[in-house]
Amino acid sequence: MKRISKTVDQLFEKIIQDHEQVSRSEQVQGNHHKDFVDVLLSLIHQLNPNDEEVYMFERTNAKAILLDMISGSFDTSATAIVWTLAELLRHPEVMKRLQKELQSVVGMDRMVEESDLPKLDYLSMVVKESLRLHPVGPLLIPHQSMEDGIMLRISHTKKSRVFINIWTIGRDPNVWSDTVEEFYPERFMIVTLTCRDMTSSSYHLALVEEGALLCS
């Protein structure tokens, strides 16, 4: 474990040093384009406004955030893509409809870009349906309550460890009707159409049958 952590630390050290070097030379030339690591580095050595002796952010913090981003993104993205492709192969009619949408919105001559996403309604439904049946973190990540309280009729004390079983929520027939086990992206159609102007779509997954609540 110690060896792995040392290797990871060396890797991040190298990334940071490369950025420090590039940043210095590009600043001289005046054409510096900042990426995520540059932004983290710009926070290092900023002093705490309440206590001028204390730094807000250190090199170790930057490395910890980088580790968070890498460990949070690799496996999740790969697993989500593999499950979605598996479902598309098992449901050729969905695959066809999706291909049709991509052909008409994006065409055959270029890759999909982020700016296309708001127009790719069916793609969005397919991804949501895939994540409903195959959430990459079935219990999400552990949460901790900040206060005593009651959530979903369960009382908890401050600092309780809370696990949310999103896998079970995604397969609850009371929420998703008796087609719960089916891969059926169209179930998201109503919510998508009525909430088109909502920028955050993550709650669609948990609240799909609760359109009114979701859009209010």
| Chain residues that interact with ligand HEM, rule: CB under 6 A | 68-69, 72-73, 76-77, 80, 131, 136-137, 140-141
Q: Nearest approach, Cβ of 36 to ligand HEM (angstroms)?
A: 8
Of residues 66 and 191, the one with the C-beta less far from ligand HEM:
66
- Inter-CA distances, 192 with 4, 43, 123, 180, 186, Å: 44, 38, 11, 18, 10
Q: Nearest approach, Cβ of 82 to ligand HEM (angstroms)?
A: 11
Of residues 146 and 212, the one with the C-beta less far from ligand HEM:
146
Q: Nearest approach, Cβ of 128 to ligand HEM (angstroms)?
A: 11
Q: Write b or e for each residue in 102-137: b if 16 or more Cβ atoms lie within 10 A of its Cβ, otherwise e.
A: beebbeeeeeeeeeeeeebbbbbbbbbbbbbbbbee
CB 202 within 8 A of CB 175: no
CB 63 within 8 A of CB 12: yes
Q: Nearest approach, Cβ of 75 to ligand HEM (angstroms)?
A: 9
Of residues 41 and 131, the one with the C-beta less far from ligand HEM:
131
Of residues 69 and 86, the one with the C-beta less far from ligand HEM:
69
Here the tokens at position 28 are 């001289």
Return the SS3 of 213: helix
